[in-house]
A and B are shown apart, each in its own frame.
Chain A
Amino acid sequence: MGSNQTVQGRLNQPGASSHKNRNRILTAVTLVIFVVFLFLADQGIILDSYGVRIIRLCGVYTIAALSMTLINGLTGQFSLGQAGFMAIGAYTTSLLIIPPEVKEQMYYVTPIQGWVRDMQAPFLAAILIGGLLAALIAFLIGFPVLRLRGDYLAIATLGFSEIIRVIITNVGSVTNSSIGIKSIPDTANIWWTTIAAALCITLVYRLMKTSYGRAFKSIRDDEVAAEAMGISLFKHKMLSFVISGFLAGLSGGLLASVVGVINPLYFRFTLAYEILLIVVLGGQGSITGTLVSACLITAGKEWLRFLDSGFSIGPITIPEISGLRMLVFSALLMVVILFYRRGLFGSNEFSWDGLFRLIQRTGARCKRLIRRGEKGGAAK
């Protein structure tokens, strides 16, 4: 299939400039439609706040998954520390945007420390500080752990993320221990999350076009060769790790604002597995794939909710079974894992040309199938 594609790519060369124009127009039209859609959704015209919330979560998870795509898929360093970075971002952001008197009331078991009570920042600054703090922690953790490789790196980063969670659970005067934080202002509306996701996608996309990005990919493909080419392994791994930490922290901050309540248990290591699932489903190393699969998993999980409350398929009535939704969800996941092992997009990015080729090929295949069917029928 791969060689087919390149041949066709070459055949398409002569008309490339007209395609370019067509693609630009298509992109512009899609963007306009998308913005109109967001506007209508935000105004509550086409979606209720439940639907809007799902779209907001899609944005948040896209950023979280992007952070993992960068370090795992594009740099080839298997890191599972996302949950910890998200926790740092979420806590920092929430504590910065909740008014002091609300915070004081909330810390009813361990009195809040003065500086935590008094710190305040506008929302944009708060999520950026959250991201930067997560990046700083990533920088500090990176020094020891980035020397490790493969599975050992994975377990060490997972370990740090659990250590962060355990510390958050224990320092009650700062984090309100396991009681968690509530009444987090609902600032991150659909525009915030979508624009943040779009900016992060652009950031990673642009980054991958620079010499840094190419260095990341060369490290992923072959560390030894990359080092021989004069690429500083540690510097680049660290850069990727820190940016990934920043993105995770940012997504944590947005998540806190979307959800309104956070507690340490949410940031267990299983959260990192869930994000890893998004990344792998989208295709390791595909930025657009990450976007599509983040939306697919977030919305799909909600869509499957009808399974939990009993339903009927034609004459068969399925009684309500608690947990059926998650069972079906995990079974669907297994199907995708087993049959699309490279994920939805592999390591390719979405392009209009690709889409058209796909449509053409699918059309041709359907025709062939129909023809074959006719022949089969005639033979009988």
Chain B
Amino acid sequence: MNVLIPSMEQFVQGIANALSLGSLYSLVAIGYTMVYGILRLINFAHGEVFMMAMYFVFYVTTLFQAPWYIAFIAGIVGIALLGIVIERAAYKPLRNAPRISVLISAIGVSYLLQNLAVVCFSGIPKQFPSVPLFQDVIIVGGVHIQRMVIIVPIITAILVAALLYLVNHTKMGIAMRAASRDFDTSRLMGINVNRVISITFCIGSLLAAVGAIMWGLKYPKIEPYVGVMPGLKCFIAAVLGGIGSIGGAVIGAFLLGFIEIMLVLFLPGLSGYKDAFAFVLLIIILLVKPTGLLGDKAGVDKA
């Protein structure tokens, strides 16, 4: 096994790449964690919502010749609505069913959306619309950085701050936290649990849409299975940080981004094992902390 010692410049470039990957992971991972935190549901359909967001933006741009900001806003709004629809159709009827039924329903939704995309959009990949504002490259001391690398962490930070404010300081947030502890009691306390859950899904999907748009700008391909790998990786990131914890998801996502980039950079011979790194890291962390880095005990008791 040959170890590669990168130059300083390459190392800095690697850090820039890892930051950009980590912030993309974290955008999607917080969507997972939001839904899990309230419903204790691993939303396996999250990756497919992500994929749908990419198609949505693509079609708004190409069919209506809309400028990118309008397409993005339309995409985010459309996908937030899709999130509510999915919740109403596939999860709400199972509110009192065993947890595993809801999980299976999520897998079912993910299959359905994938197959729907194959039928409606065909398997031939499309290019995500390009926006030079995000994609242009700036060179700082020999390090090449796409503007996204700076913009995405800022967006992530704003969204996380907004989310934390929402959860910790608003009435809705209190209701969400109450619902995440105990459905029945919060219902008795006069909380409209169904509304809380709908809003949670709406926010989760909205985050997936923002993540998908940023992802599409960085990796501009759209096909029916484009959401599978990001979905899985971001799910791992969320579990790493302790699923249910917003801060944990962000930490987990950056950790995963760094490990993936740095291991391949230093040990290119291991690049074939890249997909396994994420899991090895996950298993090691779970063995040391069975509920992830910032996971709470409550999650275990309920799980």
Nearest-neighbour CB distance to chain B for A330, whole angstroms, equals 4
Given A78-B100, A327-B119, A333-B111, the answer on whether A155 and B282 have CB atoms closer than 8 Å is yes
CA gap between A155 and B276 in the complex, in Å: 13
Q: Confirm or deny: B116 has a beta carbon within 8 angstroms of a beta carbon on chain A.
A: yes
- Contact with A152, one of B114, B290, B302 (Cβ below 8 angstroms): B290
Query: Would you call B97 and A341 a contact (CB within 8 A)?
Result: yes
Q: Produce 1/0 per residue, B94-126, CB < 8 A to A.
A: 100110110011011101101110110011000
Secondary structure at the A interface, as helix, strand, loop or mixed, is: helix
Query: Would you call A276 and B300 a contact (CB within 8 A)?
Result: no
Query: Would you call A327 and B112 a contact (CB within 8 A)?
Result: yes
Nearest-neighbour CB distance to chain A for B101, whole angstroms, equals 4
Query: Would you call B119 and A322 a contact (CB within 8 A)?
Result: yes
Query: Would you call B101 and A341 a contact (CB within 8 A)?
Result: yes
Query: Would you call B239 and A337 a contact (CB within 8 A)?
Result: no
Query: Would you call A163 and B280 a contact (CB within 8 A)?
Result: yes
CA gap between A322 and B273 in the complex, in Å: 34
Query: What B residues does A151 contact at CB under 8 A?
Result: 40, 42, 239, 243, 303
| Number of interchain pairs (Cβ within 8 Å) | 125
- Contact with B273, one of A158, A166, A269, A342 (Cβ below 8 angstroms): A166
Query: Would you call B279 and A162 a contact (CB within 8 A)?
Result: yes
Query: Would you call B303 and A149 a contact (CB within 8 A)?
Result: yes
Query: Would you call A148 and B286 a contact (CB within 8 A)?
Result: yes
Which B residues, 62 to 98, have Cβ-Cβ distances below 8 Å to chain A? Answer: 90, 93-94, 97-98
Query: Would you call B303 and A160 a contact (CB within 8 A)?
Result: no
Q: Produce 1/0 per residue, B245-288, CB < 8 A to A.
A: 00000000000000000000000000011011011101100110
Query: Would you call A327 and B101 a contact (CB within 8 A)?
Result: no
Instruction: Select the residue from A155, A166, A321, A329 with max chain B CB neighbours within 10 A.
Output: A155
Given A155-B239, A280-B100, the answer on whether A334 and B109 have CB atoms closer than 8 Å is yes
Q: Confirm or deny: B291 has a beta carbon within 8 angstroms of a beta carbon on chain A.
A: yes
Query: Would you call B112 and A330 a contact (CB within 8 A)?
Result: yes
Query: Would you call A269 and B104 a contact (CB within 8 A)?
Result: no
Considering the complex, give the chain B residue whose CB is closest to the CB of A172: B272
Query: Would you call A144 and B287 a contact (CB within 8 A)?
Result: yes
Query: What A residues does B291 contact at CB under 8 A?
Result: 152
Query: Would you call B273 and A327 a contact (CB within 8 A)?
Result: no
Query: What B residues does A145 contact at CB under 8 A?
Result: 283, 286
Given A148-B290, A151-B243, A276-B104, the answer on whether A338 and B90 have CB atoms closer than 8 Å is yes
CA gap between A270 and B228 in the complex, in Å: 10
Interface size range on A against B: 35 or more
Query: What A residues does B273 contact at CB under 8 A?
Result: 166-167, 170
Instruction: Select the residue from A78, A169, A270, A321 with max chain B CB neighbours within 10 A.
Output: A270
Nearest-neighbour CB distance to chain A for B295, whole angstroms, equals 8
Considering the complex, give the chain A residue whose CB is closest to the CB of B303: A150
Which A residues, 141 to 175, have Cβ-Cβ distances below 8 Å to chain B? Answer: 144-145, 147-152, 154-156, 158-160, 162-163, 166-167, 169-170
Q: Confirm or deny: B236 has a beta carbon within 8 angstroms of a beta carbon on chain A.
A: yes
- Contact with A333, one of B42, B108, B287 (Cβ below 8 angstroms): B108
CA gap between A284 and B275 in the complex, in Å: 31
- Contact with B235, one of A155, A160, A273 (Cβ below 8 angstroms): A155
Q: Confirm or deny: B232 has a beta carbon within 8 angstroms of a beta carbon on chain A.
A: yes
CA gap between A132 and B104 in the complex, in Å: 30
Query: Would you call B276 and A167 a contact (CB within 8 A)?
Result: yes
Query: Would you call B107 and A326 a contact (CB within 8 A)?
Result: no
Query: Would you call B115 and A326 a contact (CB within 8 A)?
Result: yes
Query: What B residues does A273 contact at CB under 8 A?
Result: 44, 107
CA gap between A204 and B93 in the complex, in Å: 33
Q: Confirm or deny: A324 has a beta carbon within 8 angstroms of a beta carbon on chain B.
A: yes
Query: What A residues does B123 contact at CB under 8 A?
Result: 322-323
CA gap between A321 and B276 in the complex, in Å: 37
Q: Produce 1/0 per residue, A326-353, CB < 8 A to B.
A: 1101110110011001100000000000
Residues of A participating in the B interface, judged by any CB pair closer than 8 Å: 72, 78, 144-145, 147-152, 154-156, 158-160, 162-163, 166-167, 169-170, 269-270, 273, 276-277, 280, 284, 321-324, 326-327, 329-331, 333-334, 337-338, 341-342
15 more contacts with CB within 8 A, not counting A152-B239, A159-B280, A280-B104, are: A145-B283, A149-B300, A151-B239, A151-B303, A154-B42, A155-B282, A160-B283, A162-B276, A163-B279, A167-B276, A269-B232, A323-B118, A326-B118, A338-B93, A338-B94
7 examples of A-B residue contacts, CB within 8 angstroms: A147-B290, A152-B239, A155-B236, A155-B286, A159-B236, A277-B108, A280-B100
